[in-house]
Structure 1
Amino acid sequence: MDTKVLQFKHITLEVETPIAYVTMNRPNKRNALSQEHMEELTECFFTIGKSKEISVVILRGNGPAFCAGHDLKEMLNETPVFYQQLFDTCIKMMETIQSIPQPVIAQVHGIATAAGCQLVATCDLAIASEESTFATPGVKIGLFCSTPMVALSRAVGRKKAMEMLLTGDSLSAEDAVAAGLINKAVPANQLEEETKLLATKISQASSYTVGVGKQSFYQQIEMQQNLAYAYTKQVMSMNAAAVDASEGMCAFIEKRKPEWKGC
């Protein structure tokens, strides 16, 4: 799939094989998620998901913030049908991020609020600058962050999720690490380097194996333990019979670097 032909209004896509950089580009709106913006992100991630050349995706924001959530000006005085369509679009975007085989790393700076916090919680991994803050402040404006709650409550503990949702208070980057919302907080001048370092490390593994692992992670995470073991046994048996698994095991035994085939 040729990602170079994609043209967007609200995002940019740059590919430095094997890493793709998806940049939200509404800096004057703090990258607020309009309907069109979310549709573009969905299309972009869906297309990336079909690429054999891309192993990892870094999602970041241009301007002073990562993402300020939904575009509230777009939402004023609309109909229930409009809101249903808007949140359908948001859910499709979030599900697309988790359904593609490539791991998606959020590179967070500034604020990540409401649906922006949901976006961080949805990404497979997240690294943030130490100055970043995270919040689900919808309760303060009469609009409870119900859809962000889905991703947030699956990323952090129940008590912390409820505290964030009920108070709308911000979480520091340090506290976000402790809560499990992000993986690491680093000085702002190291954010890009640290995120790329993580992406590069992941890209050295078999893209086929990583894709199998990502899909099975989200499938098993909500299962009962016995069902999760039954499911992952089948996945691992299939994986063990794959070309890259055979190559990886042989390379380990022979003390050499594996040559991945992506299958």
Structure 2
Amino acid sequence: MAEVVSFRKDQAGKAETVPLNVSRKDAVLRLTLNNPPANVLSISLMRALRGALDAAEVDDDVRVIVLSATGNVFSAGHDLKEMTRHRDDADAGRAFFEETFALCADLMMKITHLPKPVIAEIDGLATAAGCQLVASCDLAICTDTSTFCTPGVNIGLFCSTPMVAVSRAAHRKQAMEMLLTGETIDASTAKDFGLVNRIVPKQYLTQVVDKYAAVIAAKSPLVLKMGKTAFYNQIDMPLEQAYDYTRGVMVENMMTADAAEGIGAFLDKRHPIWTGE
């Protein structure tokens, strides 16, 4: 396993290390949050994660990304201690708060716009921006003991940026329930709400996620890129506009070498050989 480590200086000028463990098996890249005990999304960790996603985007050997975490907390969201320290800044922390939320929004949009599928593997608590991270991924698979919440309302800080991802993943009224009550929901409820795709026993989590990732990674990388891009482009369009847009995508897809190969392989009853063209 390779390890990517980012550095930043704390208020005392000391270098802080925030590890993001990075490993790859075949075409599946695994990014593991390793910022114990709560895997908080500090500035350092968000920068490291964004950098790893940037590298994955241009790496032709990577077709699917898995986001996981060490410990029993997937992510507790933003580093509130880090943010509170900056209230002593001359501007009462405004510049740092702006930097934090801008970087977080940029990270979440990066996941959405990345032309490769991203799967969240959750074992434990995903709260606030950690829940936002789960909701931003294309797929989410969790253990039966995982829990989720957007509890900002409980501490006087409404989860407005997590709301963007959560309200697009969960049903509207369920998203509002999470945001207004701040209460924690269990894995079964999260699946009912639409936040996760599958719930599996803890001992099988990585095995199931790896299987999903491998199945997806075996597809044409060009088709995955076209499909993911089209999905997020059409999702908020009016019905007629969505069909106008996607029929154009289908035509362009049909013109690719991989479509010709895939259809030919299906008709010939053989496995396709993808070229990404």
Pair in the same fold by TM > 0.5: yes
Alignment of 1:1-263 (within 5 A): 7-8=5-6, 9-28=18-37, 30-76=38-84, 77=87, 78-263=92-277
Cα offset for 1:81? 2.0
Offset at residue 16 of structure 1 (A): 1.0
User: Deviation at 1:10?
Assistant: 2.4
Q: Give yes or no for contact 1:10–1:37 (8 Å, CA) kept in 2.
A: yes
Residue of structure 1 in register with 2:12 after alignment:
none
Contact conserved, 2:5 with 2:48, CA < 8 A, in 1?
Answer: no
Give the Å deviation of 1:209. 0.3
Structure 1 residue 46 displacement after superposition? 1.2
Larger RCO (CA within 8 A; separation ≥ 6): 1
Q: CA RMSD in A?
A: 1.2
How far does residue 184 in structure 1 lie from its aligned partner after superposition?
Answer: 0.5
TM-score (norm 2): 0.91
Unaligned 5+ segments in structure 2 are: 7-17
**2-side partners of 1:150 and 1:100: how far apart?**
18
1:6 Cα deviation (Å)?
5.3
**SS state of the match for residue 232, structure 2?**
helix
CA contact (8 A) 2:40 2:75 kept: yes
| Paired residues of 2:5 and 2:19 also in contact (CA < 8 A) | no
Aligned residues of 1:133 and 1:171 also touching (Cα < 8 A): yes
Structure 1: which 4+ aligned runs deviate by more than 6 Å? none
| Distance in 2 (alpha carbons) for counterparts of 1:135 and 1:237 | 42
Percent identity over paired residues: 44
In 2, the alpha carbon distance for the partners of 1:236 and 1:66 equals: 37
Give the secondary-structure state (helix, strand or coil) at the position aligned to 1:10. Answer: strand
Change (3 A) 1:6 1:238: farther
- Code of the residue aligned with 1:26 in structure 2: it is N
Give the drift of 1:226: 1.1
> What residue identity is the alignment partner of 2:30?
Y
Of the two, which has the highest radius of gyration? 2
Q: CA deviation at 1:7?
A: 4.6
TM-score, normalized by length of structure 1? 0.96
Query: Offset of 1:199 from its aligned partner?
Result: 0.5
The residue number in structure 1 matching 2:13 is: none
CA–CA distance in structure 2, aligned partners of residues 131 and 232 of structure 1: 39
Instruction: Describe the shift of the 1:141–1:5 C-alpha distance in structure 2 as closer, same or farther (beyond 3 A).
Output: closer
Distance in 2 of aligned mates of 1:111 and 1:154: 20
Preserved CA contact (<8 Å) 2:83 2:93: no
* Contact map agreement 1:27 1:64 (CA 8 A) in 2: no
